[in-house]
A and B are shown apart, each in its own frame.
Chain A
C-alpha cells in the first residue's frame, strides 16, 4: 500500500453554509434546498426524539405517531418561527419544539385527522428495538435525549469517515486504524505496520491524518446543527460532557 491510500481527502460534501443556518436563511421550509436540508437533519436525528418520547412514557406506537407527526408539522413550517437564530442549536430547538408539540393536544388531534403521509423516512421498527436496549434506570427523558443525540452525532461522523475510506477503496484500513480515533491504543505500530505492509513512519503519518480528518468531520457535523460557527466548540464540549457523564 502506498501512503496516499491510507488516508482520505475531504469529500465534496462540504456545505457552504451549515444546514441549520440554511433552514433559517430560507425562512421558508418549502423552499427546496431548505427542505432537503431539514429532511436530512431529521432523518439523521430522529431517534433521540423517539427515545425521549418513549422515556416520557408513551407507548411505542404513540411515540412513533408523535415523532412522525412532529416532523410533518415541522416540515410544514411550524415551530421554525419560534427558533431563535441568535442562539439556535438544532438540538435544543428540536427538543423545545417537541415539548410544545406534545403540550399542544389540539395540534396532535388535527394531525391525526389529516393522517399526514410519511414525508420523512424513519425506521421505527429498528428504533423500538434500540429503545428496548436502552438502560432501564432512572435517566430522565431529557438526559436520554441528550445522550442519544451525542451518540447520533458520533455515529454520523464515524460513518462519514468510513465512507471516505470506502470511496478510496480501502474499507479494511478504516477497520485497522479506527482504534486510533480513541486517542489511546495498545496496538503496536511496528506490528500493525507490518500487517498493513507499510513502514512505521508512514503508518504514523496516516494515523495523524486520520485523526485530523476525524476532528474536521466532527466539527463539520456539529456545525450543521448550530447557527453560529462560533458555537461549534461549546457544543462539542457539551456533547462530550453528556457522554462522559460529567
Chain B
C-alpha cells in the first residue's frame, strides 16, 4: 500500500475517472473544438462574429460587430455548453440592474445578454483593446509606484461597483485590461456580474462543481470561496483577490503558485487557500532565486532594492488584504485604497502596528526632523486595569499539549473569603477554555465517576492533588489549578498547568485585577495566554475568544447561579428541569444573560415539551442577545432557537453539524453538539444513521453519559433493530446510566413483544419516580388501547393525566388527553373523541396538542374545527418541520376525505413523504402516540379513491415499520384496514388472514367497541 497517491496519480482525479458519465480526454477535446468552430455557424442575432479573442474557464470570447442600433465592435462571451441556459439568464437578469447602474471609466460595460439559436447563453461587453495589467506593466517596465497608481484606479472601480451592490468574485489580472488613451494607461475591469450569473459557486459559495472540478481561478480565490461549508462571498472576497493581484504586481508572483496549488490535490489545495498564510513579500522574493533579478528588472530596479521596498508598509498592506480571517482584512476596498494612498504620501498606514519606533520613523520621514523618545509605552501599561506577567520562562523546548490531550480543571483556591468566588472561577475558566477548538477538558460527569472509583464523594473538592489523581486515572495530560487572593482592594489571580505524569510545570501565570469587576477579565486574559502556551495558534485564539464578562455575564452573582445550575443539571436525572429556579435567578440578576435564557429555553422544552410557549419565549430572548456570546455559545443558542421557536429542524441540524465541525472536541458541559446531534433535529429529519454514528461516538468518548445511549437505542428502535436496541439498553444499565427515556423505551420494547412480566416489572420500578411514572402509565394506556381494551386504557390514561398534573406538567397532561382522543376516534367513538379533544385543547394549545386534537376531531369527519386548528398551526409555526411536513398536511387531507374528495386528500399528503420515516413531536423520546399517521390517512384516501393496491401498500407500510409506529393503535388497526382493502379487491383469502390478525391482537378487546363490532360483522360475511 503506497503512502498516499495510488500509482502516483491524483486520487481525486482517479476516483472521478471511475464514473462513466465523465467524458474522457478525447471526448472533451473534441467538444472544445466544436465550440470554437460552432461559433461561426451559430446565430447571435444582431452580432456578427469577427474572430476568436480567447478562451476562458467559462467559455470562448469572440470579437464581434454590432450592426444596430449603433455600429460598434464588442466582445462577445459565449458560455460553455453544459450550463443551464435559463438559470444563467435568470441570474444575469437579477444582476442587470446593478450592472446598468455601473458607470465607471475603469469598468468595462456589459451591454447585453442573449441566447444563440442553438441555445447557448452569451454576454456582450465593451470591447477593450489592451493587455492584461500584469503583461502591460511588465512590458512597460513599470516601477512599483506606477503599478500602485494603476492598482489604485482598479480599487476605485471595484469600490464603485461595490457601492452599487455588485461583487466581482473573479478578480484576477486577466480580468483587468489596460488600454492607452492619449498615451495614458487606463485599466478596465471586465466581466463584472458574469461570475455570478454563470458560475455555480457564485450561488453555492464554493470553488467546486459537483464532481470537484475547479471553476474560477484558485490562485486568486479567497479563503471563503474555498470554504464549502460557510463561505460568504461579499466585498471582502474581492478585497482578498485584489490583495493577490497587488502581491503579483509588486513582486511578479502570486503567494501560492499554480504548481503548488494544482499539484497538491484538491482537498489540500482548498486547505491551502483557506488556511495557509501568504508568505511575506520579502521572503517570497528571496525565495525566487535567479528569477528575482528579472522580476526586479521589470520594475526598473535591482533585487535588493525591490526587497527593501516591499519590506515594511507595502508588505503590511498586502498582508492585511490577504488576511485569512475576514474580520482582520481591510473592511472594504476603499480602506485598502486609502492605505495605499497613505503609503504613497508617506503617511502612517493602518496596516502596521503603531509601535513607537514605527511612528517615529514615519514622522522622521514625513517632517524630516528629529523626534525624541516617547513614554507612550509606560503610559500604555498604566491605562490597563490588569497587568499580566508570566513566571514561566519562554523557551523553545517547553513542553506543550497536543490537540489529543485532555485537561482536568481543579477547583480554585479561594483565599478572599468572598463566597461568590467559590465554583465561579473554575466554571468561568471552563467556559473560557471551551472557546478553544483545540483544548479539551474532561467532562464533569467523568470527573464525578472517577471520584467515585477513587472512593471519594462525588462532589469532593478538586484539590490540586485530587485533580492530579483524576488526571492520571483518566489518562489526561495536565491539571490546571488556580487561586485568588485579596491584597488591599486588588485581587491576585494565579493559574498553573502541570503535566500530571511528569509533574513538569507547563505554564504559570499571575494576574492582578484592580477591582472586583475586573476579575472575570483577568480570568479571560489568563485563559488566552494559557491557550497560546499550550500550543494553540494565535489565529484560533484570536478568532475564538470573547472575554467572559462580555460573552457570558459581567455579574458574578448571576454567573454563580448559572454555574450552580450547570452543576446541578449534571447530577440530576432529568437534565434541564431541576436547574430552572437557578437559571431564573441568573436572568433576574442579569437580564441580558443570553446563555441562561438559552438553557431555560431547553429546560422548559427539552423533556416532553412541558411548557412550549415559555420555552419559545426564553429561546427567542437568548437569540436576540446572541451577539454577546462566544462562538460556541452562539451555536448552542442558534440550535435552541430553531429547536424551540421556529421548529425548523433542518436548520437546527445544520447548526449542529457546523458546531461540531468548528469544535470537533467535546465540551465538558451538558449541551454538546455531539450529544445533541443524536437528538430530535437528526431523528426528526430521518437521519437515523447519522444519529447512530454520533451516539456511538459519544459512547466511545464518554461511556458514562446518558444521552448517547438514549439516542442510539431510540434510533435502533425506530429503524426496527429491536435486538440491537435491547443490547444498547443493557449496555447503559451495565454502566449504571439511567434516564426516563431509557425505561420508557424498554417498556415499549417489552409491550411490542407482549412480554407482560417485563412490562409489569418496569411499571413497578417506575412507581414513585416523579420524572418517569406518568410516562410509563401513559405507555400502559396506549398499549391497552392498541389491543382494544378501551375501558382499561381510559383508566390508565386518567391516572397518567393526574400524575402529570401533579407534577405541574399541564402541556404533557394535555397531550395524554389528546392521545386518548385519537384512539377513541380511531375506534369509532366519535363522541368520546370529541370530548377528550376539547378537554385537551382547553388545557393547552401547544403544537403537538393541537395536532393530536385535530386528528381526533378530523378522523370522524369534524373538518371545520380541525381546519381551524391546521390554519392556527400554520400561522404560528410557519417554518416548523413537523407542522409543515406532517401535521397540517395530514389534517387537511382528513378534511378533504370528510368531503369525499379522495384524490385531493392523496394530493395533500404528498408532502408528508419527505419525512414520513422520521419521528415527530408525538413519538420522539417520550412517545405520546406513534408515527406514520400520514400513511394511515393516505391508506384511507386510496381506499376511498378505489386505488386498492396503493391503499394496501400504505397499510402494509405501517405493519412493516413497527418501531416507528410503536404502541400506536394504528399498528393493530392497519391489519383490519388491509383486510378491508383485500375485500374490495376481491382477495378473500388474504382478507381473511388480515381480519384474523387484527382479531388476534384484539382478542381481549372490550366487546362494545364500534370498530370491533363492524370488523366482526365483516369477517362473518367472509
Once the chains bind, are A244 and B16 in contact (CB under 8 Å)? yes
A152 within 8 A of B: yes
B714 within 8 A of A: no
A246 within 8 A of B: yes
Q: Name B211's contact: one of A152, A211, A239, A240 (CB within 8 Å).
A: A240
Interface residue stretch chosen among B20-28, B137-145, B956-964? B20-28
- How far, in angstroms, from A152 to B696 measured CA to CA in the complex? 24
The 0/1 profile, CB within 8 Å of B marked 1, for residues 217-231 of chain A is 011000000000000
B378 within 8 A of A: no
With A150-B15, A215-B20 given, is the CB distance from A246 to B208 under 8 Å? yes
| Chain A residues positioned under 8 Å from B212 (CB to CB) | 240, 243-246
Interface residue stretch chosen among B5-13, B107-115, B300-308, B799-807? B5-13
* Minimum Cβ distance to chain A for residue B661 (Å): 8
| Chain B residues positioned under 8 Å from A19 (CB to CB) | none
With A180-B24, A211-B17, A245-B267 given, is the CB distance from A103 to B703 under 8 Å? yes
* Minimum Cβ distance to chain B for residue A244 (Å): 3
- How far, in angstroms, from A140 to B673 measured CA to CA in the complex? 14
Once the chains bind, are B696 and A96 in contact (CB under 8 Å)? yes
B19 within 8 A of A: yes
A137 within 8 A of B: yes
* Minimum Cβ distance to chain A for residue B149 (Å): 39
Q: Name B3's contact: one of A130, A179, A184 (CB within 8 Å).
A: A130
- How far, in angstroms, from A56 to B1 measured CA to CA in the complex? 22
B275 within 8 A of A: yes
Once the chains bind, are B697 and A162 in contact (CB under 8 Å)? no
With A236-B18, A245-B228 given, is the CB distance from A137 to B271 under 8 Å? yes
Identity of the chain A residue whose Cβ is nearest the Cβ of B6 in the assembled complex: A158
Q: Name A142's contact: one of B15, B16, B19, B693 (CB within 8 Å).
A: B693
Chain A 23-82 interface residues, beta-carbon cutoff 8 Å to B: 47, 55-57, 82
Identify whether the interface residues of A are mostly helix, strand, loop, or mixed. Answer: helix
| Chain B residues positioned under 8 Å from A155 (CB to CB) | 1-2, 6
Once the chains bind, are B24 and A211 in contact (CB under 8 Å)? yes
Chain A 153-210 interface residues, beta-carbon cutoff 8 Å to B: 154-155, 157-159, 162, 174, 178-185, 189, 204, 207-208
- How far, in angstroms, from A163 to B10 measured CA to CA in the complex? 20
Range for the number of chain A residues in contact with chain B: 35 or more
Q: Name A47's contact: one of B1, B11, B661 (CB within 8 Å).
A: B1
- How far, in angstroms, from A102 to B475 measured CA to CA in the complex? 15
Q: Name A154's contact: one of B3, B14, B23 (CB within 8 Å).
A: B14
| Chain B residues positioned under 8 Å from A57 (CB to CB) | 404-405
With A100-B696, A244-B211 given, is the CB distance from A181 to B14 under 8 Å? yes
Once the chains bind, are B268 and A135 in contact (CB under 8 Å)? yes
Identity of the chain A residue whose Cβ is nearest the Cβ of B440 in the assembled complex: A57
Once the chains bind, are B17 and A214 in contact (CB under 8 Å)? yes
* Minimum Cβ distance to chain A for residue B666 (Å): 12
B700 within 8 A of A: yes
* Minimum Cβ distance to chain A for residue B889 (Å): 28
* Minimum Cβ distance to chain B for residue A220 (Å): 11
Q: Name A245's contact: one of B7, B14, B270 (CB within 8 Å).
A: B270
- How far, in angstroms, from A162 to B3 measured CA to CA in the complex? 17
* Minimum Cβ distance to chain B for residue A39 (Å): 16
| Chain A residues positioned under 8 Å from B6 (CB to CB) | 151, 154-155, 157-159
- How far, in angstroms, from A158 to B2 measured CA to CA in the complex? 11
| Chain A residues positioned under 8 Å from B20 (CB to CB) | 215
Once the chains bind, are B275 and A137 in contact (CB under 8 Å)? yes
| Chain B residues positioned under 8 Å from A154 (CB to CB) | 6, 11, 14-15
B344 within 8 A of A: no
| Chain A residues positioned under 8 Å from B503 (CB to CB) | none
Once the chains bind, are A183 and B16 in contact (CB under 8 Å)? yes
B4 within 8 A of A: yes
Once the chains bind, are A99 and B7 in contact (CB under 8 Å)? no
- How far, in angstroms, from A239 to B14 measured CA to CA in the complex? 11
Chain B 233-270 interface residues, beta-carbon cutoff 8 Å to A: 266-268, 270
B403 within 8 A of A: yes
- How far, in angstroms, from A185 to B15 measured CA to CA in the complex? 15
Q: Name B24's contact: one of A151, A183, A246 (CB within 8 Å).
A: A183
B437 within 8 A of A: yes
With A150-B11, A243-B267, A244-B12 given, is the CB distance from A183 to B17 under 8 Å? yes
Chain A 119-133 interface residues, beta-carbon cutoff 8 Å to B: 126, 129-130, 133
| Chain B residues positioned under 8 Å from A130 (CB to CB) | 3-4
| Chain A residues positioned under 8 Å from B10 (CB to CB) | 182
* Minimum Cβ distance to chain B for residue A236 (Å): 6
Once the chains bind, are B3 and A158 in contact (CB under 8 Å)? no
- How far, in angstroms, from A84 to B725 measured CA to CA in the complex? 13
* Minimum Cβ distance to chain B for residue A97 (Å): 10
Once the chains bind, are A240 and B16 in contact (CB under 8 Å)? yes
Once the chains bind, are B3 and A133 in contact (CB under 8 Å)? yes
| Chain A residues positioned under 8 Å from B693 (CB to CB) | 96, 142
Chain B 22-77 interface residues, beta-carbon cutoff 8 Å to A: 22-26, 28
With A211-B24, A240-B16 given, is the CB distance from A99 to B699 under 8 Å? yes
Q: Name B15's contact: one of A56, A219, A244 (CB within 8 Å).
A: A244
Q: Name B14's contact: one of A103, A158, A174 (CB within 8 Å).
A: A158
Once the chains bind, are B271 and A246 in contact (CB under 8 Å)? no
| Chain B residues positioned under 8 Å from A47 (CB to CB) | 1
B754 within 8 A of A: no
| Chain B residues positioned under 8 Å from A137 (CB to CB) | 271, 275
Once the chains bind, are B18 and A218 in contact (CB under 8 Å)? yes
B395 within 8 A of A: no
- How far, in angstroms, from A30 to B250 measured CA to CA in the complex? 69
Once the chains bind, are B12 and A243 in contact (CB under 8 Å)? yes
Chain A 97-152 interface residues, beta-carbon cutoff 8 Å to B: 99-100, 102-103, 105, 126, 129-130, 133, 135, 137-138, 140, 142, 147, 150-152
- How far, in angstroms, from A184 to B212 measured CA to CA in the complex? 14
* Minimum Cβ distance to chain A for residue B667 (Å): 15
Once the chains bind, are A181 and B9 in contact (CB under 8 Å)? yes
Once the chains bind, are B13 and A183 in contact (CB under 8 Å)? yes
Q: Which of A155, A157, A159, A215 has the most CB of B within 10 A?
A: A155
Once the chains bind, are A103 and B15 in contact (CB under 8 Å)? no
Q: Which of A84, A129, A151 has the most CB of B within 10 A?
A: A151
Once the chains bind, are B18 and A102 in contact (CB under 8 Å)? no
- How far, in angstroms, from A181 to B22 measured CA to CA in the complex? 11
Once the chains bind, are A214 and B18 in contact (CB under 8 Å)? yes
The 0/1 profile, CB within 8 Å of A marked 1, for residues 197-209 of chain B is 0000000000010
Identity of the chain B residue whose Cβ is nearest the Cβ of A154 in the assembled complex: B6
- How far, in angstroms, from A184 to B22 measured CA to CA in the complex? 10
| Chain B residues positioned under 8 Å from A184 (CB to CB) | 13, 24-25, 28
Q: Which of B3, B4, B6, B405 has the most CB of A within 10 A?
A: B6
- How far, in angstroms, from A131 to B872 measured CA to CA in the complex? 58
Once the chains bind, are A158 and B9 in contact (CB under 8 Å)? yes
Identity of the chain A residue whose Cβ is nearest the Cβ of B703 in the assembled complex: A103
- How far, in angstroms, from A47 to B2 measured CA to CA in the complex? 11
Identity of the chain A residue whose Cβ is nearest the Cβ of B720 in the assembled complex: A86
Identity of the chain B residue whose Cβ is nearest the Cβ of A187 in the assembled complex: B25
List 16 additional A-B contacts (Cβ < 8 Å) besides A181-B17, A207-B24, A245-B212: A56-B700, A82-B727, A84-B724, A99-B696, A103-B700, A151-B6, A154-B15, A189-B26, A207-B25, A208-B24, A211-B24, A218-B18, A240-B211, A243-B267, A244-B212, A245-B228
12 contacts across the A-B interface (CB closer than 8 A): A47-B1, A102-B700, A103-B699, A151-B6, A157-B6, A178-B7, A180-B25, A181-B14, A181-B17, A189-B26, A215-B18, A243-B12
Closest 4 CB pairs of A and B: A244-B212, A57-B404, A182-B13, A158-B6
